[in-house]
């Protein structure tokens, strides 16, 4: 059922937030880092598996080689998409938005509540997994990416709520609104797109998810937000070729 991924994600954030309120004082930084890196490794393998599934050609359960058409489309989409994303500076805009919101939050009357809400919301809302996972859920009914994100968000919000308090729990609201809207729009567009376009979106999305995992496990190596236009380029390429 389309939308179940977002429902589970919201429930996971609420559960993580409540658990964090019980564990007041927060986890030590080294424990936080260890958990985030472990989640990053999991996401690397999940994204890699999805990407390989889109690149490899299998017939009757036998691997027959690479899907050269899909590989060419991937190269063109990522190259053109990254140029467009860099020109638009999507990653930089998101960082500046986050910095501006955090600055405003620190000046509020209940600064700890607002800072917890803003910090947690930016972390769990802004990212490729939220967009790609919602598109996959809406178009194909596959919520697996959002399920993975739910586990990650549960841990992240638990850490934030144990540090900032109940403000972090309310990050479930923007997550539900953003991912629900993207899922709904993707579901409405799904009948318009051919199965090949939907498959290509899932394929490119898996590559972006792999990059998210690398960033979590090894530090920020990719500006994943700048790669998001590759989804649009890939869809256009598949529809036209």
pLDDT at 30 over 70: yes
Express as a percent the part of the chain with pLDDT over 90. 34
The secondary element (H helix, E strand) that includes residue 47 is: helix 29-55
Report pLDDT for 66: 64
Whether 54 contacts 200, CB under 8 Å: yes
**Distance separating alpha carbons of residues 43 and 169, to the nearest angstrom:** 23
Per-position b or e across 85-96, b if 16+ CB within 10 A of its CB:
beeeebbeebee
Phi (first) and psi of residue 109, to 5 degrees: -65, -50
In this structure, what DSSP letter does residue 191 have? T
- Per domain, the residue ranges of the chain are 4-57+67-240
- Summarised one tens digit per residue, pLDDT across range 127-145 is 788 988 999 999 988 898 9
Residue 18 pLDDT grade (very low, low, confident, very high; cuts 50, 70, 90): very high
pLDDT at 86 over 90: yes
DSSP string over 121-183: HHHHHSSHHHHHHHHHHHHH---HHHHHHHHHHHHHHHHHHHHH-GGGGGGHHHHHHHHHHHH
Q: Is the pTM of this model over 0.85?
A: no
**Distance separating alpha carbons of residues 88 and 198, to the nearest angstrom:** 25
**Distance separating alpha carbons of residues 12 and 161, to the nearest angstrom:** 13
- Summarised one tens digit per residue, pLDDT across range 217-227 is 898 888 888 99
């Amino acid at each position: 059922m389309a939308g179940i991924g977002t429902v589970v994600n919201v429930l996971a954030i609420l559960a993580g937030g409540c658990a964090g309120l019980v564990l007041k004082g927060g986890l030590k930084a080294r424990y936080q880092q260890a958990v985030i890196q472990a989640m990053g490794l999991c996401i690397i393998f999940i994204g890699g598996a999805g990407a390989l599934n889109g690149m490899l050609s299998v017939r009757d359960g036998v691997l027959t080689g690479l899907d050269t058409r899909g590989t060419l489309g991937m190269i063109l989409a990522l190259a053109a998409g990254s140029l467009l994303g860099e020109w638009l500076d999507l990653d930089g805009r998101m960082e500046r938005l986050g910095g501006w919101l955090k600055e405003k939050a620190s000046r509020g009357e209940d600064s700890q509540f607002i800072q917890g809400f803003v910090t947690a919301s930016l972390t769990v809302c802004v990212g490729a997994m939220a967009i790609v996972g919602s598109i996959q859920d809406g178009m194909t009914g596959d919520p697996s990416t959002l399920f993975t994100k739910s586990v990650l968000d549960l841990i992240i919000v638990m850490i934030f709520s144990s540090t900032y308090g109940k403000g972090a729990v309310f990050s479930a609201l923007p997550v539900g609104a953003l991912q629900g809207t993207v899922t709904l729009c993707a579901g409405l567009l799904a009948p318009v797109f051919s199965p090949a376009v939907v498959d290509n979106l899932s394929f490119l999305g898996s590559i972006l998810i792999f990059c998210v995992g690398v960033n979590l496990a090894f530090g920020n190596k990719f500006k994943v937000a700048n790669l998001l236009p590759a989804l649009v380029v890939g869809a256009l390429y598949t529809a036209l070729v």
